Structure formats: C-alpha cells, structure tokens
Amino acid sequence: MQNVDYIIVGDGYAALFFAHQLILNNKSFVVFSEGKKSASQISAGIINPVVLKKFTTFWLAQEQINFLKKTLKEIESYTNENYLIESPIHRIFHDENEQKLWLRKSANDDLKNFLDENFHHLNRVKNDFLTGKVNQSARLHVKGFFEGLLGYLENNGNLIKEKFNYSEISAADSIYKDFKFKNILFCEGMAVKENPYFSDITVIPNKGHHIRVKLSESFPDDITIKKKHFLFPVENDLHFYGGTYDREQLHYEIDDSAVEQLQKGLSEFYPGNFQIREIHFGFRPTVKDRRPILGRHFEHSNFYVFNGLGARGILNGCYFSKILFDFIENNISLPSEVSIDRFK
C-alpha cells in the first residue's frame, strides 16, 4: 500500500495546475490519466483578458493574468520549457462603430491596461476598419504544455496511465486500489457526469470545433487574429482556426454545420485559398454563471471537485488551483462566487 497526500483524477488544465501546487508544496500525489485527448488538450490555448464581442473584461482578469505568468515561470524551472507564446490578439473591426466602442471602453479603469488605443493594419487579410490589439494577451503552447507536464509527472512516478474506476474506492478507509490517500480531487471535465460523488454538479457541455488549415499565404508568427474566431500558426506549417460554441449538437461526431461555419468565417477575412487538413472537437464544461466549481463533498470530507473551467480553462485552472489548495491545506474559505456551496 502506497501512502499519498493526493489522488488527482483527470489530466486537463485543472488537474495539471493543481498538480503544480502540490509540487511547489512538496506533497506526494498521483494523477490518473485515461490518455484520451481532453477538451483542454485540443484547446486553442488563448490567454485573453477581454471578451471580444462586447469589449468587456471579467472577474479577476488582471490577477489571473499575473498569476499565470508567475506560474508558468515556476513550471519552467522544472520542465526547462517556456510554454508562453507572446502573441498578442488583433481583433478585426467590423465597422467604425466598433472602433468607437473600443476607444470608449479603453478609457475605463478596468480595460485601459488591455485595450490598445492605437489601431493597426494587418497585411494579407481583409481589415478595412483596422484592428485593435489586446495588450497582455498571449497563447499557451498547448501541445508542449501537456507533453512537458505529463512527461515530467511520468518520469517522477506521479502519473498512472489508466481509467479511474469509481467502484474500487473505499471512501470510509480513503483507499483506492493500492493507494491510501489523504485527499482525492476530481478534475474530470464533462466526465464528472459518470462520477457517483459529484455527478449532480451543474456543468453544461459546450461543444467546440476547430480546424487546422494550410494557407496559401502565411503570416508572421507573432500575432493571433480574431474576427469571429481565432487564427494563429501551429506546428507542421498549419494554422489553427476556431473554435465554435454549441450546446445543442452534443453527439460524439464532427458536425458539418460547425465546419461550414468555420470555413465561412475564415473566408470573410482571409482572401487566399486554404485547405482543411484536420478537424477537432471537444466538450467544454461550462457553468451558467460562467465561474468554476470548487469544493468539498457534503458527506466525504476529503473528496474534492475542481470543474467548470469553461472557455477560460488556462486562466481559471491556474488561478483557482491555488485558491483550492489553500482551502484544503490551510482552511482558507473559498470565494462564494466559485464555491460548490452556491448551488445549495
């Protein structure tokens, strides 16, 4: 029997950022990874403090950006890799009204550090009304992040590559198979619906598609273009374009309508030819109030959940991993805005 401080179930942003907190604090743990590509692992990796439909920001945006940069530096210290891509978002304006709205919003205290007052023209794309740059925006190298972190955990004996079997938990004894644990944390995304301890949490699946395309004429690597969706370069001389949002078509197949939406959206501002080389989709775990769900099981006091990261999985996963760690280890109360207790 192996004694561990934590079992983590899941391998997305919530799981890996929480694992980082355990590494920082010298806690013993294992991560159970089924090995399937999660929504996190096929995500765009956009780090964006602005809602680009309405030019607004969100709760704790600056704090989350700052904490993410600090955390990625800490992760770099043991993986020897920097996963932050300094690639600012350029939002293509639809018309002059959007330009005026951007300028008005840029004067607000909560947005002045994010909305650049100077407009920019981009070559090789249609941007008749120019673009607005989102300061402090960036991307995470998603493939590198997951390969690097999971590889590090595997090399250090922290990774168990198998599907977690709920029927083998002895909740009364805090035992799972050959592990005696102090705490167990479930970071499973939409798979939480199969979890007998937390299946009732109110996460809503939001299906997202993205395509990887070969462009006839490429762009510099230092920007991310946004109109309806995001366009930026990835490996193998391809570009990522996506992703869509759909709460209706929830089957486990590619939706032709989503692919058509992406083709149309890219054609609106990219005048060249492009070929779709790959199509991917996943299911984001979203919450009605757009805030994650953290907390303790009502009956089993060492069972915890970390879910509902939605489309801001990187920022939410990073920032709230520390909040959750302090709740478990230091008995610091969770903010009511993210506590599982808000649904009682």
User: How far, in Å, CA of 61 to CA of 199, rounded?
Assistant: 29
Please tell me whether the overall predicted TM-score, pTM, comes out greater than 0.75 for this model.
Answer: yes
Whole-number percent of the chain with pLDDT over 70: 100
Contact 207, 8 (CB under 8 A): no
Whole-number percent of the chain with pLDDT over 90: 93
pLDDT in tens, 323-342: 999 999 999 999 999 999 99
Note the pLDDT of residue 250: 83
Contact 343, 198 (CB under 8 A): no
Q: Sort strands 303-307 and 293-296 into parallel, antiparallel or unpaired.
A: antiparallel
Average confidence (pLDDT) over 181-207:
96
pLDDT in tens, 223-260: 999 999 999 999 999 999 999 999 888 888 999 999 99
pLDDT in tens, 277-308: 999 999 999 999 999 999 999 999 999 999 99
Contact 197, 303 (CB under 8 A): yes
Least Cα distance to 170 among 302, 296, 35 occurs for: 302
C-alpha distances out from residue 246 to 171, 193, 202, 249, 286, Å: 36, 19, 17, 6, 11
User: How far, in Å, CA of 316 to CA of 65, rounded?
Assistant: 10
Note the pLDDT of residue 229: 97
User: How far, in Å, CA of 325 to CA of 183, rounded?
Assistant: 11
Note the pLDDT of residue 69: 97
Six-digit token string for 30? 């294992």
Mean pLDDT (the chain, rounded)? 96
DSSP state of 311: G
